[in-house]
């Protein structure tokens, strides 16, 4: 069973190590941050757009965050003699999770007040929680290249933190995600992801819940369950299937490459997965990441966003269902998809390919 060890960094932020079964216990040096306390005080607030109802976080302290440092100055690498200490004091680790030094959301929630004394613009502290998940101590590795037992440790860390953040009064939904590649906008090359505990339901979740409620009233069904069943019945957009998981290109995919990975059993979030489902996920997810990396000949390290959509922690939880959405902006070798006026300005999407063609290519490179 994966072992979790908790400690705190010099500025009071939490750090968790997740180690494989049988790994040696953590030493005191692994738990002691040698740096002097130097906290970054979050100044995030969120303001509601009166035209859409969307909450927008204003996190001005993030302007000073670390940006693409050389490998010998990476703050996510393990401690090494002769180099400045980073965020993780251990000399080696399997998976490490810590509170983000530059969070978009942090702390408790508070009632909104009118900005400039205008009720049109509610403003409130951007409460919630942001964490960083380091998949491996190897700076040059990638999540998809890890063996299944190491990916399983990552899955356990995701599940543990999902459960913990879901208990926080400030958190309405937990989103686990990875941004990979400079084309996506990463600021650190070390293989890592993030976890956001949102203090509100994001626009995509709000839109889904409206559709899911209408679907239930109309048909009595569960929208995400019915979508999965329909994709499996159609078959031609399915790109992998295992004992517990299925991956498919959604029928109305927006991105040049987009794949959803869903459990065959109805579960609300990562924390609800059984050991067998987690073992199978480690294999299935590794296979999916290899497939997308092989998609474009000559493209090494496909840029992508990969995020776990989980049920809300409160109202609407019964309508949620766990699934992964992975997408890439790489539409062809040497060519990226940029959001043009229709997509950026009006959220009216145009895809330059078809889901069926993408699915066929992903099956072709499945190995």
pLDDT bin (cut points 50, 70, 90) of residue 64 is confident
Using alpha carbons, list the distances in angstroms from residue 332 to 72, 142, 237, 262, 302. Answer: 32, 21, 20, 26, 11
pLDDT value at residue 122: 97
Token readout for 163 is 């459960």
The residues that bridge with 305 in the sheet, in sequence order, are 179, 327
The length of the chain in residues reads: 367
Contact 104, 46 (CB under 8 A): no
pLDDT above 70 as % of the chain: 100
pLDDT value at residue 266: 98
pLDDT bin (cut points 50, 70, 90) of residue 39 is confident
Positions marked catalytic: 192
Contact 11, 17 (CB under 8 A): no
**What secondary structure does DSSP assign to 303-360, as a single string?**
-EEEEEE---SSTTGGG---EEEEEESEEETTEE----HHHHHH-----SS-HHHHHH
Contact 152, 282 (CB under 8 A): yes
- How does the average pLDDT of the chain come out, rounded? 96
Token readout for 148 is 């299944």
pLDDT bin (cut points 50, 70, 90) of residue 40 is confident
Rounded to whole angstroms, the Cα distance separating 279 from 247 reads 16
Average pLDDT over residues 193-221: 98
pLDDT value at residue 1: 87
DSSP 26: P
User: Cβ–Cβ contacts within 10 Å for residue 160, how many?
Assistant: 18
Rounded to whole angstroms, the Cα distance separating 260 from 112 reads 35
Q: 3-201: which CATH number, 3.30.428.10, 3.80.30.10, 1.10.3720.10, 3.40.50.150?
A: 3.30.428.10
Rounded to whole angstroms, the Cα distance separating 65 from 103 reads 10
Rounded to whole angstroms, the Cα distance separating 119 from 16 reads 42
Nearest to 308 by CA among 199, 193, 139: 193
What does the domain layout of the chain look like in residue ranges?
Answer: 3-201, 204-364
Architecture of domain 204-364: 2-Layer Sandwich (3.30)
Token readout for 352 is 């330059």
- Helix, strand or coil for residue 234? helix
Q: Is the pTM of this model over 0.95?
A: yes
> What values do phi and psi take at 128, rounded to 5?
120, -150
Burial 80-106 (b: 16+ CB within 10 A, else e): eeeeeebbbbbeebbbbbbbbbbbbbb
Note whether 3-201 and 204-364 share their fold. yes
Task: Name 97's Cβ contacts closer than 8 Å, sequence gap at least 6.
Answer: 15, 16, 18, 131, 132, 133, 134, 157, 161, 195
* Tens of pLDDT, residues 126-163: 999 999 999 999 999 999 999 999 999 999 999 999 99
* Tens of pLDDT, residues 246-276: 999 999 999 999 999 999 999 999 999 999 9
Contact 262, 277 (CB under 8 A): no
């Amino acid at each position: 069973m994966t072992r979790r060890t908790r400690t705190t960094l010099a500025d009071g932020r939490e750090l968790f190590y997740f180690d494989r079964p049988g790994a040696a216990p953590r030493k005191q040096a692994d738990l002691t941050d040698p740096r002097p306390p130097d906290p970054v005080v979050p100044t995030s607030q969120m303001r509601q757009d009166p035209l859409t109802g969307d909450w927008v976080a204003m996190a001005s302290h993030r302007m000073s965050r670390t940006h693409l440092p050389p490998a010998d100055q990476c703050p996510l690498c393990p401690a090494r003699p002769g180099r400045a200490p980073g965020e993780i004091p251990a000399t080696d680790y399997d998976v490490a999770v810590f509170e983000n030094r530059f969070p978009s959301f942090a702390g408790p929630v508070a009632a909104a007040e009118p900005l400039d004394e205008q009720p049109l613009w509610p403003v409130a502290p951007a409460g919630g929680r942001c964490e960083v998940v380091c998949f491996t101590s190897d700076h040059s590795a990638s999540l998809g290249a890890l063996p299944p037992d190491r990916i399983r440790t990552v899955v356990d860390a995701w599940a543990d933190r999902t459960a913990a953040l879901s208990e926080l009064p400030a958190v309405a939904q937990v989103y686990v995600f990875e941004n990979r590649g400079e084309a996506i906008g990463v600021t650190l090359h070390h293989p890592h992801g993030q976890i956001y505990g949102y203090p509100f339901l994001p626009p995509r979740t709000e839109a889904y819940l409206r559709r899911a409620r209408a679907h239930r009233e109309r048909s009595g069904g569960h929208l995400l369950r019915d979508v999965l069943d329909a994709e499996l019945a159609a078959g031609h957009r399915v790109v992998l299937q295992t004992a517990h998981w299925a991956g498919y290109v959604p029928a109305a995919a927006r991105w040049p490459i987009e794949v959803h990975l869903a459990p065959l059993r109805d579960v609300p979030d990562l924390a609800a997965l059984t050991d067998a489902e987690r073992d199978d996920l480690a294999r299935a997810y590794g296979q999916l990441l290899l497939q997308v990396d092989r998609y474009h000949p000559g493209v090494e390290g496909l840029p992508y966003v990969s995020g776990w959509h989980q049920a809300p922690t409160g109202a609407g939880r019964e309508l949620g269902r766990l699934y992964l959405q992975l997408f890439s902006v790489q539409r062809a070798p040497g060519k990226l998809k940029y959001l043009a006026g229709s997509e950026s300005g009006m959220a009216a999407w145009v895809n330059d390919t078809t889901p069926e063609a993408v699915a066929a290519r992903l099956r072709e490179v499945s190995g």
